[in-house]
């Protein structure tokens, strides 16, 4: 049983539904007509080449950038067009790991993880301290409570960022390029941790990445953004896309440029 099982039993399978979404900046449209569904406990990959709008899509999903058109639904609730209070409530269920970890540099790791708890719960100082210790232990950082972000390595900062993202036991975790800047072993450990947390917490995970190894290791659903056509040109399980996709761009991406379409060496 996972912590979200109760919600699962009563709700539908779809966690996030994106409908006819156009996004961009001002009059500049980056992507149009996006439609996809993220199911509960999916590890959903948003992939595509550099500069295709992956991070922009993430910004739209987490409430930092308003879409030009279309809807984002969380458990059926309209995120952008609904009541602002409802939007705040939905956002409180997010845990977000930013590309640069975005830990607050003037606070210790313990204070970083404690801030969301102090802000949104009525727990006592002792209870908060216990939760902080637990979260840091879950990412393998027990004992680092009193360290400042500048005193630990990049990989540790990523994990501390993850501990902060998990502070409020979110049911949706967003990761922006989680393995960027990590060595292969740390990247693999982080991938394992993501799967482990999804399995035990029952969270839905959305990952923006172009790391092929991560994509195949953790993803069970995905969308592929293409900047030329400004649309999603492929979606589904990345392993299935690798085996079945006929699209030269998708094949080229998934095979690091070795194949432009299935079976044809370029």
Spatial strand order in the sheet of 43-47: 94-97, 172-176, 204-208, 43-47, 221-226, 231-235
* 8 Å CB contact between 215 and 209: yes
By beta-carbon proximity to other proteins, the closer residue of 121 and 213 is: 121
Cβ within 8 Å of residue 156, ≥6 positions away: 141, 144
Asked if 135 touches other proteins (CB under 8 A), the answer is yes
Question: Going by DSSP bridges, is the β-strand pair 259-261/264-265 parallel, antiparallel, or unpaired?
Answer: antiparallel
Q: Which of 12, 88, 118, 196 binds other proteins (CB under 8 A)?
A: 196
CA within 13 Å, CB half, 6: 1
By beta-carbon proximity to other proteins, the closer residue of 139 and 254 is: 139
Q: Which of 169, 183, 244, 258 binds other proteins (CB under 8 A)?
A: 169
Least Å distance, CB 85 to other proteins, is: 16
Q: Binding to other proteins (CB under 8 A): which residues in 138-157?
A: 138, 140-150
Q: Binding to other proteins (CB under 8 A): which residues in 1-30?
A: 1-7
**Residues making contact with other proteins (CB under 8 A):** 1-7, 105-106, 108, 110, 117, 120-121, 123, 127, 130-131, 134-135, 137-138, 140-150, 166, 168-169, 193, 196, 199-202
């Amino acid at each position: 049983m996972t912590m979200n099982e109760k919600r699962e039993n009563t709700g539908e399978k779809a966690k996030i539904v994106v409908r006819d979404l156009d996004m961009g900046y001002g009059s500049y449209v980056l992507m149009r007509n996006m439609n996809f569904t993220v199911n509960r406990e999916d590890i959903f990959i948003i992939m595509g080449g550099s500069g295709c709008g992956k991070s922009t899509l993430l910004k739209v999903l987490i409430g930092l950038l308003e879409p030009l058109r279309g809807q984002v639904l969380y458990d059926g609730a309209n995120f952008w067009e609904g009541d602002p209070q409802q939007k705040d409530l939905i956002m409180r269920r997010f845990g977000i790991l930013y590309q640069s970890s975005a830990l607050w540099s003037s606070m210790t790791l313990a204070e970083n993880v404690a801030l969301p708890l102090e802000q949104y719960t009525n727990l006592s100082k002792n209870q908060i301290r216990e939760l902080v210790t637990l979260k840091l232990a879950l990412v393998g950082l027990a004992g680092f409570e009193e360290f400042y972000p500048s005193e630990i390595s990049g990989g540790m900062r990523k994990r501390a960022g993850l501990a902060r993202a998990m502070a409020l036991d979110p049911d949706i975790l967003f990761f922006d390029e989680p393995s960027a800047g990590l060595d292969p072993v740390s990247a693999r450990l982080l991938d394992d941790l993501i799967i482990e947390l999804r399995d035990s917490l029952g969270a839905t995970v959305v990952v923006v990445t172009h790391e092929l190894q991560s994509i195949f290791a953790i993803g069970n659903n995905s969308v592929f953004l293409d900047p030329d056509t400004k649309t999603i040109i492929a979606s589904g399980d990345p392993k299935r896309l690798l085996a079945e996709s006929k699209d030269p761009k998708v094949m080229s991406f998934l095979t690091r440029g070795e194949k432009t379409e299935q079976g044809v060496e370029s």
